């Protein structure tokens, strides 16, 4: 059941990631990896929210796996982040590489803190 929960969640997360990419492309957001940044920020927020809630209430292990390892694992794209940052360096755009690193680290960290804060409101200990 755990493998099924992760697999189904991963399918959903991957489809969501693809839809965010299509959305960003449709808006012409192609000179910077906005879709990757968006899914990483959203993923950081929700994985900390889910794990914080799971620590406060009794959450079935399969549900936690489905939401975190499955959906959030399929949604977030850290490996893509790494590739796109490296590509900026290879293409001679070090400022874009640094901007991608800085924005991703800071905004994802803040999103994680916001996820914890919301979890404390939704499921106080």
Are 116 and 56 in contact, with CB atoms under 8 Å apart? no
Q: In the predicted model, is pLDDT for residue 11 greater than 90?
A: yes
What per-residue confidence (pLDDT) applies to 99? 98
DSSP-assigned letters across all residues of 37-88: HHHHHHHHHHHHHHHHHHHHS---HHHHHIIIIIIIHHH--HHHHHHHHHHH
Mean per-residue pLDDT, 64-82 = 92
**pTM of the predicted protein model:** 0.82
What per-residue confidence (pLDDT) applies to 125? 80
Q: In the predicted model, is pLDDT for residue 124 greater than 90?
A: no
With a CB cutoff of 8 Å and minimum separation 6, the contacts of 46 are 67, 71, 72, 115
Structure tokens at 40: 């990483």
What per-residue confidence (pLDDT) applies to 56? 87
- The number of angstroms, rounded, from the C-alpha of 54 to the middle of its chain's C-alpha atoms is 18
Q: In the predicted model, is pLDDT for residue 116 greater than 90?
A: yes
Cα four-point dihedral sign 55, 10, 36, 83: positive
């Amino acid at each position: 059941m755990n493998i099924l929960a992760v697999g189904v969640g991963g399918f959903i997360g991957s489809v969501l990631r693809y839809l965010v990419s299509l959305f960003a492309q449709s808006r012409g957001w192609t000179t910077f990896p906005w879709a990757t940044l968006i899914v990483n920020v959203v993923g950081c927020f929700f994985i900390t929210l889910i794990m914080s809630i799971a620590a406060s209430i009794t959450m079935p292990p399969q549900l936690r796996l489905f939401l975190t390892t499955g959906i959030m694992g399929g949604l977030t794209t850290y490996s893509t982040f790494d590739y796109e940052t490296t590509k900026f360096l290879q293409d001679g755009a070090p400022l874009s590489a640094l901007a991608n690193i800085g924005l991703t680290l800071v905004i994802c960290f803040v999103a994680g803190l916001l996820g914890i804060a919301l979890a404390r409101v939704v499921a106080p200990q």
